[in-house]
Amino acid sequence: MSPSPLYSPIVRSVRNVRKNRSTLAMILLSISAMVVLLAVLAGCGGGQEKDAVLATVGKTEIKASYYEDRLARLEENELPRTEGGTVMDMSLPEGKAKFLETMINKEIMVQTATNMGFENDPSIANAQEALSAYEASQVMWDKVIQEPANTISPEELEAFYARMGSSRKCLYVICNFKDDAEAARKMAVEGADWEDIINQYHDGGNPPSGIYEIQVPFGRYNPEFEKGVFGVEVGEVTEPINSIYGFWVLKVIGEKTGKKPPLEEAKAQILDVTRVRKISHLKEDFIKSVEEKFQFKIHEDALWKCYLGLPVGETLFRDGTQDPRKQDELAPLAIATEDMDMPLYEYMGRDGLKIYTLLDYKTHFDKMSVFQRPKDTELLGGLRNKIRAELGKTLLNFEAQDRGMFEDPDVMAKVNIKIEEMMVGKLYSEVVVVDEQITPEQIEAFWAEHSEDYYARENRAGRLVVCKDVGQAAEARAKAVEGADWAEILASFGTSDENKAKGGTLEKIVLKDDDPLSFALFALQPGEVSEPFPFGDGRFGVVLLDSVEPRRSVEMTEVREAVGQRMVELRKEEMFQSMLAKWKEDIPVVIFEDSLADLASWEELRTAAVPENLVPRN
């Protein structure tokens, strides 16, 4: 986690931000928050025969299961509010009626947009095809990988526990090519000196110590890698293990067993880790089966030429900055003219064999952003796996079609929800058009009535050091308490280049939800130093509070732009409400108030009992 950004201290009060949440925002939230239960053709309510019908909008029914499903997906701060901005109690009739009203308004807008022909708009028609492909692949992924991974047997639990806490020490060599890895393994099995193997076959980086050893704790690595390491006896050599870095060959030279908690205490952790490992294993097996089905092949000779042509030492950011390198600043893929026609990879498409040459890949590579491009530091395995990942999207799309996933009820429903959201947004943007010119006189009049809604939040200034672990952070804190110069503390313990470039300075930091840095700073008095706090990425931070700027009223000149924007938003909301009322005149709505009483509240839906062995665990 990077240091907290310098949030603007000039804000509208929380009360008024919540109070003035637009009707459209609530409608879009109600669409995007849902998880569809049954086919879209069954109507809004999901089609359960015994579902209570809460309302009809035209010919569409809104049913209890649909209502409860969407309500359960909302966070507390997303729930309907009273005119005063207070979150409504969703167990009371008023709260239920308010949320049902939002759902009705959404359906009114969808039907209005449909009547106006928005569903035939080219942008929406094109989106339907792309969304269908995406959702079909996702639902297939869930059924083939996610759901099977949720089943963990007692035998799997016990097998993991038996190995838990153990660790193996290995010599290793990493090769770009499987043939080299097999040759390196042959030398190792025959008893060759490991240094000779490294000199002849190692393609990876050189460790600072010069010793090619790795400690492999059980349960920490990719299951395929771990299976190879723990699948041989101590003293034996693994078969080549493919990874994103290359082909590994390891000789197990030792094993030790560490402490572990009792099985019942470790059970939750084992379930979580085992599920992640099963997902990884099932994912790789499934991708390999799809690649075999569509005869996917990478030509290793062309791949090597492609790897050699990668820009040397390309970094993500401009030197000394956090600014990403722009696409026009990047060097092209260097492929010799005589090699341009070499086949790089191929697969069996719908209309025959598709072959992509080095020229095809160069054309694609040269258009990539700096974040998309393979790097020469990733070894050949990095390039190989990025090509597999890119083409995998196409092959998974083919597989989803073959499995009939495009016609799956869940897929059709999810696509329909996304299309509805697009139509509602397009209807609003094209129909709700207001005069956005605000005169000085209008701003003055608005300010006279609403100035109390605006203030500058309390903000604080101080200094920060980001350390690699809690031990280093504790040492940094001790130095700070002793009064050491902050530059000295940064030089000794700092791990964030961005923070060090600023001299550790923090300015105008406001209290922000889920921001441990601001929490730490706001717990101090000027001159105090915080205890080490987790920084979100394994590192720990320490802050010193220098000064506090208290909350204060602001002058209108400080927030003129924000005031003008708020006035425009209010104009849009007023027009939208007027148009929504007219749309409702054309579409009959019937509400069955007696059906609201039996609906579950938000609290009941969010606190459902969790079975003991459910994974992933909540």
pLDDT, tens digit (0-9, with 9 covering 90-100), for 290-327:
999 999 999 999 999 999 999 998 988 888 887 889 98
pLDDT, tens digit (0-9, with 9 covering 90-100), for 437-492:
999 999 999 999 999 889 889 999 999 999 988 889 999 999 999 999 999 999 99
Rounded Cα distance between 236 and 480, Å, is 51
- Cα–Cα–Cα angle for 307, 309, 311, rounded to 5 degrees: 100
- Cα–Cα–Cα angle for 539, 545, 548, rounded to 5 degrees: 135
Q: Give the side-chain half-sphere CA count within 13 A for 320.
A: 2
Which segments of the chain have a pLDDT < 70? 1-22, 25-26, 28-50, 608-618
Percent helix, strand and coil across the chain, each to the nearest 5: 50, 15, 35
Rounded Cα distance between 57 and 111, Å, is 9
Rounded Cα distance between 543 and 524, Å, is 9
> Taking Cα atoms as reference points, which of 4, 109, 100 lies closest to residue 55?
100
Rounded Cα distance between 58 and 74, Å, is 26
Question: Could you give phi then psi for residue 321, rounded to 5 degrees?
Answer: -135, 175
Residue 513 is classified by DSSP as T
pLDDT at 360: 96
> Taking Cα atoms as reference points, which of 81, 131, 103, 92 lies closest to residue 34?
103
DSSP 417-482: HHHHHHHHHHHHHHH--------HHHHHHHHHHHGGGEEEPPEEEEEEEEESSHHHHHHHHHHHHT
Rounded Cα distance between 81 and 21, Å, is 9
Question: Residue 194, Cβ neighbours under 10 Å: how many?
Answer: 19
SS3 246: coil
Residue 59 is classified by DSSP as T
pLDDT at 613: 56
Peptide linkage before 332 cis (omega within 30 of 0): no
Residues listed for the chain:
618
- Record the tokens describing residue 71, joined without a space: 């309500």
CATH topology of domain 458-550: Chitinase A; domain 3 (3.10.50)
Assign domain 165-259 one CATH number from 3.30.9.10, 3.90.1150.10, 3.40.50.1820, 3.10.50.40. 3.10.50.40
**Domain limits of the chain?**
165-259, 291-402, 458-550
pTM tops 0.95, yes or no = no
Cα dihedral 227, 229, 233, 238 in deg (nearest 10): 100
Rounded Cα distance between 507 and 309, Å, is 45
Torsion region of 210: left, alpha or beta (phi above 0 gives left; psi -120 to 50 gives alpha): left
- Record the tokens describing residue 243, joined without a space: 């990874």
> Taking Cα atoms as reference points, which of 284, 406, 405, 290 lies closest to residue 347?
290
pLDDT at 12: 34
Question: Could you give phi then psi for residue 228, rounded to 5 degrees?
Answer: -65, -40
Rounded Cα distance between 252 and 270, Å, is 25
